[in-house]
Structure 1
């Protein structure tokens, strides 16, 4: 402001370029002062308008930026340029409205900016981020000359909109057009392979990375490690990690997340400990990955140590970290610790509430889960699809069949939440567990009317109930659908075999075993992991040969008895 005063008193105020420099300074510091200065300017040129529109877009005040743009167009005194249009297109991204973006696109065409490379690239980016990938593709095809930046923009658009096969086809077209892939191209392709779980394409891209010398690019190598881990090729990910001479925080975090994803929490925690010794720099992502590893290990002592690390780093107040900590404690069975952490989160969001609701359901407290939904609504937050699934799962596993169905009916009537396949699958399971097999079957038949196709989880829930209630006729139909949807998943074969055996249909039960062997299906059995004297003991379902099997089954019976008493006590409290 002293400089501003000097400019006015010394006579430099009349120079437009000085006014614009002053305006630019205020726009970086305080928009209110910038707007006041802009209103006082008696001569505004293209730079003046561009500074203000760009500053409002940068401040995520897209509506104000549009208002200024309309005012500028109405005056028709200033000739537009590409930079103004790029900023206006960015404002469309902040608004998330492709309809407004199409109006701006029309303006761009009329003013002849469509051939500007920056404007064209911004249009592709805008349509992609507004989830209008068809318009993004059309804009790309209309470009007369396409450079690698434009190809990458559309490739990123396909990836961000889950169009992974289209992304691979686009890369083939890019290759045929003679456009060399750069680091951004390779990162997008690695994202595609990660989501498609495609190790063959992944190894091909790795070869391109080596041939093009991108092994020194940290972003590319971190993405490659992540892709190998997500494709369950953890040995290759670990080998790449060890070969890297320079590892940043992202590299360490990616490796921790990779081991966690592959169900190897001990290795993930060991990597974190090594990171602690080499470079004592953790960001929020690193701590979140550590908390996830502790969740999988379900070791309370480790979880408490991870909580301590978050506290020492001053991250426990972060809503994402706090939510991860309460989720971690719930998976360790320490529900009271989850409650304390939840109460200490200063700014709870819908994810925090949903995590606490899920924690109650996971720990056999469905009444508390339902009560928390009411409290959440009282705080002005509406349940989202994750909250809804958590409540339905809590009612399902807690045996609150009627309350779960009532909650579902309320959602259907109010259209409060977009119901997805997993919600219907959970309700099918609710009905099936209650023995209402015909009603469950009717719901499955109605699903296509809602634009949803019944998945293997819905048919699996019905098959499981058919085994329990001895309805092999309905169960056979359910199994045929599972066989069509998931032919390599062992769960369906095991359920069907168990159902036929329970009904004395030994020929059909034997046929299931023959199908498993004939198709080379890998059998996956359930197990429990218990820490005894700091050693993890694995108890496979049905294993009678474990040295602790007698004690385990005795404890199991006692636990079931205690659960029944707890359930009766909880129902009495809420009644």
Structure 2
């Protein structure tokens, strides 16, 4: 009997064969291990004994020597091949036994089904399923378990569920196969429902059941149910099982209860690599690098074999610059232990170095031999460059990837789309996405409509959103956020309503985005409705939503409601503190803002970039330099001086407090100033009458490749005005549309009027106003009025004042300027008349303020 025949092209040939001729063709030349004339039962028992001891070849040799094998012999042969992972031979043996006229039993079908599962032979399994139905083994628990397992492991969980529903069984193994199949196919909620149905039917779970349902609970964060199953497992004495123990640790880790996870981990009598990886992954999820590294060290000392998942988990925890040395140590360990060539490990190293800010080391790892063959590694490197704001390099690497003949995956496409700032490049990548068939992918679709939104093509963005075949919560939230950022509040609110009608899951991010859209006084009622909806969903206590609610009420001028939300949130995090401080700052309630800031410090809150920016802006407006210096010290201690928003606020604060040299010191320490920071420094010099330095900053900004915007050009024109550089001011004014594509606005025209007025060229200023392509506003005429006051031109001042009062009847400044000009030339009757006119229209002169 030859058990090693190859699998023929026909799966189930029904042909006759001479058994003795098959025996005579045996290639075995060694001495028979049994007497060929002994009984088949003894031979089968001996073969089974060898099989159980792992001596596969000896078992097959004994079976080869049986003159007239029975069905048990054939079943043992199939089991031998399965144990040796020779699944094609298992299927060939099954074909041979049928061709010789044997009728398979439940054990035959069970073993062959296992071979189909392991070899993923879908074609064979389809015919095998038909054979099971035909021969009446459909109701057999052993065969049914094999069929359920087969369908579940080949991606046909729906068929497995349907098959199981047609049979009434109390076989725990069959239930386990179905529940495990649900977990494997991502149907975790279905798996939990099956578990409840199983125990309702008085079928007692075992250790395998507990490990599967605990994994399901961990996947969907069903913490309370998981704790109940944990208690049940302990009661059934299944807690000592390594798989159950690992599932318990994984449940607590994924649900964020690391204290319980560590407690259960310490109780485990035996821990395998999966157990260690689960606890390390839990600390990684909590961004607790120190404990993740500590357990990784203990794992090495315990001499547990480390796999690539363990390494990627501990590297994922290393995401802060302060622990870059730990990444170096892990890198050395990886090299020493020979797992560096694993692409998964290599990708994790690239990402870890990028997260710690060491892009150079990321690039060094990327350049190692063999790395160019993996698109995933290119994706990791591009993502690392994006995270470190190396946008130009990331785009260059993306282009090089195409030249190397590699096709970027969806993760790479999503990363590169996040940094594209050119419509042309965005459309080129969009074309590739369509060509590569990735346009229907959820991740890529979200990245595509987000980039169009960022490039101010909100209509194109919405069109892509509508064309997406599948839209999850993230997609809806991103589109709502896009509408909100572009001032389309009505569309954002409409989309939110559609989201509710389509029963899409609403989360914290969605509510935060739609609350941003409702942050206008005219939408206060809508904002209150969304607040009520959040309360009904039970999401309102979340600090992210709390911060959005505070911001929404503050922008709608309903500070009482904002403060009520703030005071009602028990656990205030940094977002909520920052939101409340910003709310008071934006409503010019300085004292209240400082009080909340002090409360935050007393409560142990950290000074982050958002809080710093708000409070530094307050210090600048109130000229509180001493407080600003104290906050600067806290900024240095907190290590956030690299944040451009904070640096820009410091530059502005020192400038407005009269310390322009300190402002420049802060500016010089910034490695890569952005447009806002350049503009802040330029405005500082301009306001201090140091126009030449302001223009020098402008030249430096252009040399660094930073393109000015309309706000920056106001600073340039103001610098020219304060320094009397009339001709240079006009050159910069004309260059706005010619060189930078910036159409002059009323504020720019006012700067030119101020430039001419300060130089005493009042007639030219009037001519310039009359030639403006846009109608001058009160700012332009007020600027001319101020120049008339400086140069004592009362008649022209009256004209300018009249224009101001036509546009702004309640502007007391125009009356005051005219009154002062009249007083300067001794026309006191006019002064009295103007003061009387002010009183007649109900205007009062505002009090002057002085900061000592």
Q: TM-score range by the shorter chain?
A: 0.7 to 0.9
* Structure 2 residue corresponding to 1:200, chosen from 319, 325, 330: 325
| 2:279 match | 154
Indicate if the aligned counterparts of 1:444 and 1:454 stay in contact, CA closer than 8 A.
no
- Give the whole-Å Cα distance in 2 for the aligned partners of 1:411 and 1:440: 26
- Give the whole-Å Cα distance in 2 for the aligned partners of 1:490 and 1:351: 27
Structure 1 pair 240–456 and aligned structure 2 pair: CA distance change class (3 A): closer
Alpha-carbon offset, residue 522 of structure 1: 4.3
Alpha-carbon offset, residue 561 of structure 1: 4.2
- Give the whole-Å Cα distance in 1 for the aligned partners of 2:648 and 2:151: 69
Indicate if the aligned counterparts of 2:484 and 2:492 stay in contact, CA closer than 8 A.
no
Mean Cα deviation higher: 472-481 or 321-330 = 472-481
| 1:82-101 pair list within 5 angstroms | 82-101=207-226
Mean Cα deviation higher: 437-446 or 550-559 = 550-559
| 1:97-496 pair list within 5 angstroms | 97-179=222-304, 181-195=306-320, 198-246=323-371, 247-294=373-420, 298-360=421-483, 362=485, 365-366=486-487, 368-369=488-489, 371-380=491-500, 384-387=507-510, 390=513, 402=521, 415=535, 416-417=539-540, 418-420=542-544, 421-422=574-575, 425-426=578-579, 428-441=581-594, 444=597, 455-468=608-621, 470=623, 482=635, 485-486=638-639, 488-489=641-642, 492=646, 495-496=649-650
Q: Which has the higher contact order (CA 8 A, sep 6+)?
A: 1
Q: Deviations over 1:468-527 (max 9, x none)?
A: 4656577567556545544644764653453344344x4xx656777x59xx95455222
Mean Cα deviation higher: 174-183 or 119-128 = 174-183
Structure 1 pair 552–107 and aligned structure 2 pair: CA distance change class (3 A): farther
Indicate if the aligned counterparts of 2:359 and 2:388 stay in contact, CA closer than 8 A.
yes
Indicate if the aligned counterparts of 2:182 and 2:191 stay in contact, CA closer than 8 A.
yes
- Give the whole-Å Cα distance in 2 for the aligned partners of 1:285 and 1:87: 30
Q: Deviations over 1:194-235 (max 9, x none)?
A: 356522111111111111111211111111112222223222
- Give the whole-Å Cα distance in 2 for the aligned partners of 1:260 and 1:14: 57
What is the number of residues matched between the two proteins? 537
Alpha-carbon offset, residue 409 of structure 1: 7.0
| 1:62 match | 191
Structure 1 pair 209–423 and aligned structure 2 pair: CA distance change class (3 A): same
Alpha-carbon offset, residue 163 of structure 1: 2.4
- Give the whole-Å Cα distance in 2 for the aligned partners of 1:342 and 1:512: 45
TM-score, with length taken from structure 2? 0.55
- Give the whole-Å Cα distance in 1 for the aligned partners of 2:473 and 2:127: 46
* Structure 1 residue corresponding to 2:652, chosen from 498, 504, 511: 498
Q: Deviations over 1:286-311 (max 9, x none)?
A: 221221232xxx11211110111112
Structure 1 pair 254–155 and aligned structure 2 pair: CA distance change class (3 A): same
- Give the whole-Å Cα distance in 2 for the aligned partners of 1:536 and 1:387: 38
Indicate if the aligned counterparts of 1:284 and 1:321 stay in contact, CA closer than 8 A.
yes
Alpha-carbon offset, residue 166 of structure 1: 1.5
| 2:167 match | 38
Alpha-carbon offset, residue 374 of structure 1: 4.1
Indicate if the aligned counterparts of 2:655 and 2:663 stay in contact, CA closer than 8 A.
no
State the SS of the aligned residue for 2:445. helix
- Give the whole-Å Cα distance in 2 for the aligned partners of 1:384 and 1:262: 29
Structure 1 pair 266–487 and aligned structure 2 pair: CA distance change class (3 A): closer
Structure 1 pair 75–488 and aligned structure 2 pair: CA distance change class (3 A): closer
State the SS of the aligned residue for 1:131. coil
Structure 1 pair 210–552 and aligned structure 2 pair: CA distance change class (3 A): farther
Alpha-carbon offset, residue 557 of structure 1: 7.3
- Give the whole-Å Cα distance in 2 for the aligned partners of 1:482 and 1:359: 32
- Give the whole-Å Cα distance in 1 for the aligned partners of 2:623 and 2:462: 41
- Give the whole-Å Cα distance in 2 for the aligned partners of 1:69 and 1:157: 30
Alpha-carbon offset, residue 250 of structure 1: 0.7
Structure 1 pair 404–552 and aligned structure 2 pair: CA distance change class (3 A): farther
Indicate if the aligned counterparts of 2:430 and 2:448 stay in contact, CA closer than 8 A.
yes
Q: 5+ residue gaps in structure 1?
A: 530-534, 569-575
- Give the whole-Å Cα distance in 2 for the aligned partners of 1:317 and 1:248: 23
Alpha-carbon offset, residue 155 of structure 1: 0.7
Tell me how large the CA RMSD over aligned residues is: 4.2
Q: Deviations over 1:14-45 (max 9, x none)?
A: 75533443454565641343223431x5xx44
Indicate if the aligned counterparts of 1:27 and 1:34 stay in contact, CA closer than 8 A.
no
Structure 1 pair 410–503 and aligned structure 2 pair: CA distance change class (3 A): farther
TM-score, with length taken from structure 1? 0.78
Alpha-carbon offset, residue 464 of structure 1: 1.4
Indicate if the aligned counterparts of 1:291 and 1:303 stay in contact, CA closer than 8 A.
yes
Q: Deviations over 1:119-160 (max 9, x none)?
A: 222221222222222221111100123333322221112112
Indicate if the aligned counterparts of 1:124 and 1:154 stay in contact, CA closer than 8 A.
yes
Q: Deviations over 1:379-431 (max 9, x none)?
A: 316864444555676788xxx5x469888777667545423343653564354
- Give the whole-Å Cα distance in 2 for the aligned partners of 1:238 and 1:50: 47
- Give the whole-Å Cα distance in 2 for the aligned partners of 1:303 and 1:563: 32
Structure 1 pair 282–361 and aligned structure 2 pair: CA distance change class (3 A): same
Indicate if the aligned counterparts of 1:392 and 1:423 stay in contact, CA closer than 8 A.
no
Indicate if the aligned counterparts of 2:609 and 2:640 stay in contact, CA closer than 8 A.
no
Mean Cα deviation higher: 48-57 or 141-150 = 48-57
- Give the whole-Å Cα distance in 1 for the aligned partners of 2:445 and 2:246: 39
Q: 5+ residue gaps in structure 2?
A: 1-125, 545-573, 679-702, 721-727, 750-773, 778-852
- Give the whole-Å Cα distance in 2 for the aligned partners of 1:409 and 1:469: 34
Indicate if the aligned counterparts of 2:492 and 2:514 stay in contact, CA closer than 8 A.
no
- Give the whole-Å Cα distance in 1 for the aligned partners of 2:182 and 2:237: 25
Structure 1 pair 125–20 and aligned structure 2 pair: CA distance change class (3 A): same
Indicate if the aligned counterparts of 1:459 and 1:481 stay in contact, CA closer than 8 A.
no
